[in-house]
Amino acid sequence: MSDVQRTLVLVKPDGVARGNVGEVLRRIEAKGYTLVALELRQADEALLAEHYAEHAGKPFVRPLIEFMSSGPLVAAVVEGQRVVEGFRSLAGATDPTTAAPGTIRGDLARDWGAQVIENVVHGSDSPQSAAREIALWFPAL
């Protein structure tokens, strides 16, 4: 049954700073997904607080927002059959030290001893989250 979805992908500031944008986009395109929006931008704290509303009150949310606003990031909307789950699979586990080799985080990220986990990419965790996040980052879509 057709289940074409959209998901929000972010190449986080660590990934942009380390030159991973092309590689992340290459993997998305190689997998066969379609880019429907793509933008390099500096996210402000208000947007990030909304984006991470589910984590409000957790100890890592302040350092997370500082990290995510520390430099430019790339925001993208990616489309394809079951792409929400599919991109999470491409990204790999949250902790880059244990993320499987072959995944974006497993191949491109590691623990640098930072206050918060720096793991190159974000991907929406459900179709509901994707709809909320896409409306937040790309209100014109």
Query: Footprint of Mg ion on this chain (CB under 5 A)?
Result: 125
Q: DSSP per residue over the chain, as a string?
A: ---EEEEEEEE-HHHHHTT-HHHHHHHHHHHT-EEEEEEEEPPPHHHHHHHTGGGTTSTTHHHHHHHHTSS-EEEEEEEEETHHHHHHHHH--SSTTTSPBTBHHHHH------SS---SEEE-SSHHHHHHHHHHH-TT-
119 binds ligand RTP (CB under 6 A): yes
Residue with the closest Cβ to Mg ion? Answer: 125
Shortest gap between Cβ of 119 and ligand RTP (angstroms)? 5
Does the active-site annotation cover 122? yes
Tell me which stretch binds ligand RTP (CB under 6 A): 19-27, 33-41, 42-50, 122-130: 122-130
CB closer to Mg ion out of 32 and 66: 66
> Within 10 A of 94 (CB to CB), how many other CB atoms are there?
10
Catalytic residue among 21, 122, 123, 124: 122
60 binds ligand RTP (CB under 6 A): yes
Q: Which amino acid is at 40?
A: L
* Contact residues: ligand RTP, CB under 6 A: 60, 64, 94, 116-117, 119, 122-123, 125
> Residue ranges for the binding site for ATP?
12, 60, 88, 94, 105, 119
Report the catalytic residues. Answer: 122
